[in-house]
Each structure stands twice: as C-alpha cells, then as structure tokens.
Amino acid sequence: MSNRTFTMIKPDATKKNNTGAILQMINAAGFRIVAMKTTKLSAEKAGEFYAVHAARPFYAELVNFMSSGPITAAILEKENAVEDFRKLIGATNPAEAAEGTIRKLYASSIGENAIHGSDSNENAVIEGDFFFSKLEQF
Ligand code: ATP
Ligand code: MG
C-alpha cells in the first residue's frame, strides 16, 4: 500500500484544459495509473473529502471551489508514491512551488492550485476508497 497515492486534478486545471498535460507529467515521472475517473463533486461530497480542514478559515471557499466544476480523480502507483508525488506537485502556494512542479506550471493561487496529492499512506487509502470501489483498484 505504501507504493500508492491518490490525486485529483482540480476544477481550475480541468477548466483550462490542462488535464492531459498534467497526466503526461504524472506518467513521465513514473507513476502508473491504477484507477481514474472524471466526475463532479457536490458541495456535500467536497466538504466530506476535506473534512479535516472544517475548522480552517478557508474551508467554505475550498468546498465552493472543489464543487465548482469537474475533477479527475486517480489512484497512482510508484515506489515511494506519496512523498515523490508531493515533490512532483510542489508547494500548496504556487508562489512557493519549485520550478518544474505541476503547481508552479499550472496553479494560479493557493486556493486554486490545480492538483491534490495525499499527505500520508493512510490518507492515500482513505481517499482512494472515497472514489473507487475495491473492484476498480487493480
Ligand atoms: P491538497 O490537500 O489539496 O493536496 P495541500 O496538502 O498542499 O493540498 P492543505 O493544507 O491540505 O494543502 O490544504 C488543502 C487545500 O486547501 C489546498 O490545496 C488549497 O486548495 C486550500 N487552501 C489551503 N490553504 C489555503 C489558504 N490559506 N487559502 C485558501 N485556500 C487554501
Ligand atoms: Mg492536503
């Protein structure tokens, strides 16, 4: 399980038609796509996904943004997946993201930052199970 992470290409990147370019970077970095779907979160589902941030001042804005348009959710596999994927996406705030990272290239602000990546092996499993049944994870 420690070789898997979960990602979402967020509504801002979907709207700008950056989905293909971002998936290309993910594959080029050596991640195998285990499961993938494009869907749209309701405000309720977005709130549930980011429930850990419910007490933060940006929570309402985050829920509103994450339910504003389609997203692409995927489970990814690679050795050291969680840590390596966080490196590939870059810092939460694109102004602080390293050159060549997905957020440096495609995020427009700390809120609308193009892509999500799990922060632990445990959360990768929880988040993958949020979108995909066990039958869909092979
Ligand atoms: P993600 O969990 O989406 O991969 P992250 O782990 O880099 O992002 P978190 O601290 O988990 O960052 O915050 C979750 C998301 O909440 C961020 O990606 C961003 O969309 C939003 N967010 C975080 N901080 C702020 C903020 N100060 N203002 C507005 N939105 C924020
Ligand atoms: Mg996070």
Per-residue pLDDT for 28 more than 60? Answer: yes
**Residue 18 maps to a domain:** yes
Question: What count of other Cβ atoms lies within 10 Å of the Cβ of residue 45?
Answer: 16
The pTM of this model reads: 0.97
**Residue 127 maps to a domain:** yes
Banded model confidence at residue 131, pLDDT cuts 50, 70, 90: very high
**Residue 64 maps to a domain:** yes
Residue nearest to atom 7 of ligand 1 (CA): 92
For 104, the 3-state DSSP assignment is: helix
CATH of the domain at 68: 3.30.70.141
Q: How high is the pLDDT of residue 95? A: 97
**Residue 138 maps to a domain:** no
Q: Which of 31, 116, 117, 125 is catalytic?
A: 116
Q: How high is the pLDDT of residue 2? A: 73
The CA R_g of the chain, rounded to the nearest whole Å, is: 14
The number of folded domains in the chain is 1
In our burial notation (b when 16+ CB lie closer than 10 A, e otherwise), range 100-131 reads: ebbbbbbbeeebbbbbbbbeeeeebbebbeeb
Q: How high is the pLDDT of residue 36? A: 98
Which residue range forms the structural domain that includes residue 125? 4-133
Q: What is the overall mean pLDDT for the chain? A: 97
- Model confidence over 46-100: pLDDT tens digits? 999 999 999 999 999 999 999 999 999 999 999 999 999 999 999 999 999 999 9
Ligand 1, residue 112: give the atom nearest the CA. 20
